[in-house]
Structure 1
Amino acid sequence: MSDVEKSGFLAKVIGPKKRWWAYKARSRRLPEDYRTAVEAIERYLMHFVPTDGESNAAMFEDLADLFEQAAANGTPIREIVGEEPVEFVEAFVQNYSEGGYVPARERKRLTDAVAGAAGERTGTQDKAV
């Protein structure tokens, strides 16, 4: 992958470069344990992020906000992410655009289809699955 392709890919995946680098600088300033947790979450998110750059930028900025506040308050990492980090990350991601986040979109599609099949109105137009 060329530098131009990487640049376009990064812009698409994580949003504008300036916001990405600002997020990275913030995460580097976190205390070591918090930084390690953020880096692990970031790695996981890089596999499942929506394709909407603005949502991604906001998502990573909010992740930095959350961990900065927790570090400032002395909140233990387990109080932030709980015992199941995957569940935490998946719940966290659901607050952002579902446009490119296939699992969330497919969960909604399944839920709507089953509700429609059960004769329940979902508030959205039923479409064949």
Structure 2
Amino acid sequence: MGVQDIIEGKKQWRTHQARVRKLPRDYQIVYREIQKYYFKVGPVDLADGPLLPGIVDFFAEGAAGGKGVLELVGTDVAAFCDDLIKDSDTYADRYQATRNDKTDR
């Protein structure tokens, strides 16, 4: 990864965060909680993948349609998050696999 890649990545991240700040306040709060959750257990390709930008798109459409954020994600936000990444390789899965390998030895 070169310097240009790092600079481009930062530009993309700042643009992404600017889109989040344009959402209504309740959407921003839920988005930040989703983001925290994914940073802890999320998919391995989170930084390069379409998941977070896709959520912002989904939220922007919901806000434009006049829906509340909980109408979109439900009251169990963690279940919403888990459902989005159910078929993805996650850091939590990798950690569990290494724990199981150590236990088997």
TM-score, with structure 1 as normaliser? 0.58
Matched, 1:54 2:69: no
**Residue 25 of structure 1, CA deviation:** 0.5
What do the CA deviations read for 1:61-113 (whole angstroms, capped 9, x no partner)?
00110111110001122211112111001112236x42xx044579xx9xxxx
Matched, 1:35 2:35: no
Query: How high is the sequence identity, in percent, across the aligned residues?
Result: 28
CA distance in 2, matches of 1:73, 1:35: 16
Matches within 5 A, 1:12-23: 16-23=9-16
AA partner of residue 25 (structure 1): A
Alignment check: 8 A CA contact 1:70 1:76 kept: yes
User: Which residue does 1:79 correspond to in 2?
Assistant: 71
Cα root mean square deviation, aligned:
2.6
CA distance in 2, matches of 1:83, 1:45: 17
CA distance in 1, matches of 2:30, 2:72: 10
Unaligned runs of 5+ in 2: 1-5, 98-105
Corresponding residue SS for 2:67? coil
Matched, 1:94 2:80: no
Relative contact order (alpha carbons < 8 A, sep ≥ 6): 1 or 2 greater?
Answer: 2
User: Which residue does 1:26 correspond to in 2?
Assistant: 19
Please list every run of at least 4 consecutive aligned residues from structure 1 whose deviation after the TM superposition is greater than 3 angstroms.
102-106
Q: Report the structure number with the largest CA radius of gyration.
A: 1
CA distance in 2, matches of 1:104, 1:49: 9
TM-score, with structure 2 as normaliser? 0.70
Instruction: Tell me: CA distance 1:73–1:105, structure 2 relative to 1, closer, same or farther (3 Å).
Output: farther
